[in-house]
Structure 1
Amino acid sequence: MRKTKYISVLLTVVMLGLFSSCTKDLNQLPTTQVTSASVYAKAENYRMVLAKVYASLAIAGQEKGDANTDLGGKTYWGYLRIYFNLQELPTDEAIYTWGGGDALNNIQFMQWNSTDEWVSAMYYRIFYTVALCNEFLRNSTDDKIAKFSQDEINNIKGYRSEVRFIRALVYYHALDMFGNVPFVTEDDPVGAFFPKQISRVDLFKYIESELLDISDKLPAPQQNVYGQVSQAADWALLAKLYLNAKVYTGTEHNDDCITYCKKVINAGYTLEPKYSNLFNADNDKRTNEIIFPIEQDGQHTTTWGGTTYMVCGPIVGSMVATDYGVQSGWGSIRTREQFVNQFSDPSGATDKRASFYTDGQTLSIDDPTIQTDGYGIVKYTNKTSTGENGSNFAEGLVDTDFPMIRLADVYLMYAEAVVRGGQEGSMADAVNYVNLLRERAYGDTSGDITAVDLNLDFILSERARELYWEGTRRTDLIRFGKFTGSDYIWQWKGGVKDGTSTDAKYNLYPIPASDMAANPNLIQNDNY
């Protein structure tokens, strides 16, 4: 779907079936005269609705720059910006300047509660996407598409599998962030009803079953249109699910993780030779490594969330916005000292992934509201690999896609599952995959490791070095038992400058109080 405008299709029945316990939020939705019957009357409209399903991860509204927003409140900032904030700001990898005005202090200091605006925003954006997916699936059953030509039927069946993947992806985020959540599928009624709550274990099983069932129905790796999912995305998401299975279910699935990592690795993907090319304005060319992106396009898929946030937000202090392909910096996001210390040489002279901006910046953060406290990070830019600005430099909207799933993560998942005792892989392969990443980072073999070096502590640090600001850090720290508690302390953890131990309840976000009040079937997460 690259360079193709996401079609704005909103269905009245989608809105009514959004997540019916969220009755107050339904009042925030825009009014439309389009109905399910009129939209699904033509086969070509199914692709338009498919575009809206994908777009729900990329943008927050129906018009340019998120105008005519899908939902109200903080959901205005869109799925990806909210996801980044909840996955990165409570960790050692990021800190936010305007925490008071933007209501992010509770997130970055690990002090949120069930009325937090950003927690609610993530929850409602997840279930908004679930609702879009469910409505598509209700209207793409075999009997409802039988009126179309065989080619049209085949196309719609393919779209159906893609939609099931997107639903599995956002349900995976619900599983990871919220645990036991309301559960709605296309088999549930449209209209007002109280969804039942599914246990974390059962939601794990559901996501697993969905991904396994659609695996053979999706296009082969690298055979779908860029930006749409293939079998490789399905296998990689299964690997993520299995790697975190001990957290979600109490039972390890390391062999399963390795099995699906190997399927991705054997599918023909290769590492992009230059790390920085994965995060710039023409990273849509990096299909050799990027398996599933959330697309952004400065002309057509425009948002002030998404990667516009990730390009403009980290421009702090004396950084010059035009150097990064945008008109202005927002002075918002830096990193914390403990993340910088993951690199033995933070200058970037040895490990080129260490892309810190230090001019005028202090390493230690005495005051989170001062944008020169804490090193800057240069990861996402709106410059192409040849140094040109993105397509909409004039308005500062970026072309940089977000790599939701890429090969490097699969290599590291394989290695971790082997170290955790998985028998379906080998230590030799695990070391080799890690060294492929380090040879790209170092430019030679000087950073190579041996099997003696490959332990869990090393893997957690290597994941930080390779995957920072890609939305994995909170999940990783929880899997390693270092997010809450006192095993790992970083500056401003718990809202204290030198850091402090935090309550284990923060390993999950709470179900929003608004939904607890609306749905009598829900039980809140422990200690909220």
Structure 2
Amino acid sequence: MFNRFRIFLLVLLGTVTLWSCSKDLELTPEDNRQTSASAFEDPAAYKQFLAKLYAGFAVSGQDGPAGNPDLTGLDEGFSQYMRLYFMMQELPTEEAVIGWNDGTIKDLHYQNWTSGNEFIRTMYSRIMYQIAQSNEYLRQTTEDVLNARGVEASLQADIQTYRAEARFLRALSYWHALDLYGNPPFVTEDDAPGAFLPEQISSADLFSYIESELLAIEGELKAPMTNQYGRADQAAAWMLLAKLYQNSEKYNGEDHSADVVTYTSKVIDAGFGLVDDYQKLFLADNNSNGAQNEIIFPITYDGINSQSYGGMTFIIHTAVGGDMDPDNFGINGGWAGLRTTSALVNKFLDNEDDAVEEVNDSRAMFFTEGQTKEITDISNFNSGYAITKYKNVDVNGNAGSDPTGDFPDTDFPMFRLGDAYLMYAEAVVRGGGGDTGKAVDYINKLRMRAYGDSSANISSSDLTLDFILDERARELFWEAHRRTDLIRFGMFSDRGIWPYKGGVPQGATTEAFRDLMPIPSSELGVNTNLTQNPGY
């Protein structure tokens, strides 16, 4: 299968090299130059190549965990999609800091990055690479192409579902591009592959394109909870639509709160359910311990078959250090990097001087032994509380499948029902219609799971935007939502202060233009159709 992946990726080279073709970040061509037609001689290849599109979010190349990368120019672990996306969404916020000194990584939390930041550049390239792969898959699976190859009608019917999934994955990456960069270059399967300079698309037009794609495939995807675990279904598309609508004022200046109510309601009514124990969502068996009934769309990991130094390997290992016992996390050692700030910890406390160990909220997953609550030295792992949310152990405490303890089985819950509940409630408060009673009930379901009883339940008078922003942090921290949330609430850059924001211990506001990441300077030098975002 991986040989076919290599053949398939050759088709992409002409398209992608001008998307991300700076000297220090290029695609590495393979020696095997068979045609795309020969790559699809085996009927099973169509599903296998779809699997490669999914795998692009979890691994970094053709050989796990490293050695044959999709992109070169940055350490292969650092260049992995979900590792980069987690960093973009969490490190610039109050939810995460990292003590490492690799390149410009600390600039992400300080919010003083430039257009030359290598992590921002590689995220951009990884997104564009994923889009290019999806485009080529769609070119190779049109009705005319399939008929010319003599593909049987029964397989063609399956391929139509595969195409809808590929369009969903492309829409997901284009949403990431929209949210992070605003107005990226735009290419679809209708553009001929080869060397050309893509035109830049406006945020409003990209919003409309993503919306139209998701609406178009809604009827072609499988019904909720009927597809193979880890693959997109209608509920995944509804959730992405709701995310798009939730942040629409930042994308096109329009309020789509009513659409958020509509599409989160579809998700909520689709048959998903909250798992009984919050911790189960983040364990090595979260694909089978009941959490799979809450997770709408995961990025799946397997300690044997999808090894990578990015994704969950990064998140779990990097969060362990100091006096923490790696055995409790199902790993062979910690990388002593990620912690959190007191600003997140305080969201779980009635008073800032309270001890977090006495909090009854089971979501308060902090390691405090040998750690200080306040960060006095961002490079010192013991400075700042550690997070114990993700583990490579199952519900019985058994470690994952990799006997070396390097690579976890824990899936990343990109979309889940708990988020849909909070999105519905926020849309109601923002005037999108819906039912206030339902909104309160949805939040109380989350809080009853967290506290074990109704002692922390809220009433309609508590349902404010300030409460929802804090509750989203309590429920969803380290799930790659926070940057987008803070921007939507106007609290990311020129408002909102937390430790080391702005590069100072007490925190400081930053310029409003940092709500968008810069277009990498290396890309501007290659594609003359691109214009830099304001402020950079």
Tell me if both proteins adopt one fold, taking TM over 0.5 as the criterion: yes
CA distance in 2, matches of 1:325, 1:197: 45
Going from structure 1 to structure 2, the CA distance change for 1:290 and 1:104 (only over 3 Å counts) comes to same
**Equivalent in the alignment of 1:458:** 467
Q: Residue by residue, what CA displacement relative to the aligned partner does 1:401-435 show, whole Å, maximum 9, x if unpaired?
A: 00011000000000000000011x11000000000
> Quick one: which amino acid aligns to residue 392 of structure 1?
D
Deviates more, 1:460-469 or 1:313-322: 313-322
CA distance in 1, matches of 2:27, 2:130: 16
Residue 306 (structure 1) aligned to one of 305, 311, 326: 311
Q: Residue by residue, what CA displacement relative to the aligned partner does 1:363-406 show, whole Å, maximum 9, x if unpaired?
A: 11011001100000101100001110100041421100000110
**Equivalent in the alignment of 1:445:** 454
CA distance in 2, matches of 1:288, 1:39: 36
Contact kept in structure 1, 2:440 and 2:459, CA below 8 Å: yes
Computed over aligned residues only, the root mean square deviation of the Cα atoms, in angstroms, reads: 1.5
**Equivalent in the alignment of 1:93:** 95
CA distance in 1, matches of 2:518, 2:257: 28
Going from structure 1 to structure 2, the CA distance change for 1:38 and 1:300 (only over 3 Å counts) comes to same
Task: Tell me whether 1:404 sits opposite 2:443 in the alignment.
Answer: no
Task: Tell me whether 1:415 sits opposite 2:425 in the alignment.
Answer: yes
Between the two proteins, what is the percent identity of the paired residues? Answer: 47
Task: Tell me whether 1:327 sits opposite 2:332 in the alignment.
Answer: yes
Q: How far is the alpha carbon of 1:42 from its aligned partner?
A: 3.1
Q: Secondary structure at the match of 1:57?
A: coil
Q: Which runs of 5+ in 1 are unaligned?
A: none
When normalised by structure 2's length, the TM-score is 0.95
Contact kept in structure 1, 2:349 and 2:359, CA below 8 Å: no
> Quick one: which amino acid aligns to residue 58 of structure 2?
A
Going from structure 1 to structure 2, the CA distance change for 1:439 and 1:27 (only over 3 Å counts) comes to closer
Q: How far is the alpha carbon of 1:237 from its aligned partner?
A: 0.5
**Equivalent in the alignment of 1:295:** 300
CA distance in 1, matches of 2:226, 2:2: 21
Contact kept in structure 2, 1:317 and 1:360, CA below 8 Å: yes
**Equivalent in the alignment of 1:152:** 155
Q: Residue by residue, what CA displacement relative to the aligned partner does 1:344-378 show, whole Å, maximum 9, x if unpaired?
A: 26326410000100001001101100110000010
Going from structure 1 to structure 2, the CA distance change for 1:57 and 1:348 (only over 3 Å counts) comes to farther
Task: Tell me whether 1:338 sits opposite 2:343 in the alignment.
Answer: yes
When normalised by structure 1's length, the TM-score is 0.97
CA distance in 2, matches of 1:27, 1:155: 34
Q: How far is the alpha carbon of 1:145 from its aligned partner?
A: 1.2
CA distance in 2, matches of 1:493, 1:5: 43
Q: How far is the alpha carbon of 1:6 from its aligned partner?
A: 11
Contact kept in structure 2, 1:243 and 1:254, CA below 8 Å: yes
Task: Tell me whether 1:360 sits opposite 2:365 in the alignment.
Answer: no
CA distance in 1, matches of 2:74, 2:296: 29
Deviates more, 1:79-88 or 1:145-154: 145-154
Residue 370 (structure 1) aligned to one of 369, 380, 397: 380
Task: Tell me whether 1:23 sits opposite 2:31 in the alignment.
Answer: no
> Quick one: which amino acid aligns to residue 292 of structure 2?
T
Going from structure 1 to structure 2, the CA distance change for 1:311 and 1:428 (only over 3 Å counts) comes to same
**Equivalent in the alignment of 2:9:** 11
CA distance in 2, matches of 1:125, 1:183: 14
Q: How far is the alpha carbon of 1:37 from its aligned partner?
A: 1.7
Q: Secondary structure at the match of 1:292?
A: strand
CA distance in 1, matches of 2:62, 2:452: 44
CA distance in 1, matches of 2:48, 2:477: 34
CA distance in 2, matches of 1:413, 1:245: 13
**Equivalent in the alignment of 2:353:** none
> Quick one: which amino acid aligns to residue 22 of structure 1?
S
What is the aligned residue count? 522
**Equivalent in the alignment of 2:489:** 480
Q: How far is the alpha carbon of 1:21 from its aligned partner?
A: 4.1
**Equivalent in the alignment of 2:44:** 44
Going from structure 1 to structure 2, the CA distance change for 1:6 and 1:203 (only over 3 Å counts) comes to farther
Contact kept in structure 2, 1:7 and 1:52, CA below 8 Å: no
| Equivalent residues in 2 for 1:2-401, closer than 5 Å | 8-9=5-6, 10-18=8-16, 20-24=18-22, 27-33=26-32, 34-74=34-74, 76-77=76-77, 78-98=80-100, 100-146=101-147, 147-285=150-288, 286-344=291-349, 346-347=356-357, 349-401=359-411
Contact kept in structure 1, 2:10 and 2:29, CA below 8 Å: no
CA distance in 1, matches of 2:250, 2:462: 25
Going from structure 1 to structure 2, the CA distance change for 1:448 and 1:113 (only over 3 Å counts) comes to same
> Quick one: which amino acid aligns to residue 480 of structure 1?
F
Going from structure 1 to structure 2, the CA distance change for 1:330 and 1:145 (only over 3 Å counts) comes to same
CA distance in 1, matches of 2:93, 2:160: 41
Deviates more, 1:145-154 or 1:84-93: 145-154
CA distance in 1, matches of 2:75, 2:245: 29
CA distance in 2, matches of 1:6, 1:12: 11
**Equivalent in the alignment of 1:499:** 507
CA distance in 1, matches of 2:36, 2:259: 40
Contact kept in structure 1, 2:368 and 2:385, CA below 8 Å: yes
Contact kept in structure 1, 2:329 and 2:392, CA below 8 Å: yes
Q: Which runs of 5+ in 2 are unaligned?
A: 351-355
Contact kept in structure 1, 2:401 and 2:409, CA below 8 Å: yes
Q: Secondary structure at the match of 2:68?
A: strand
CA distance in 2, matches of 1:41, 1:75: 35
Contact kept in structure 1, 2:19 and 2:128, CA below 8 Å: no
CA distance in 2, matches of 1:304, 1:353: 26
Going from structure 1 to structure 2, the CA distance change for 1:348 and 1:189 (only over 3 Å counts) comes to farther
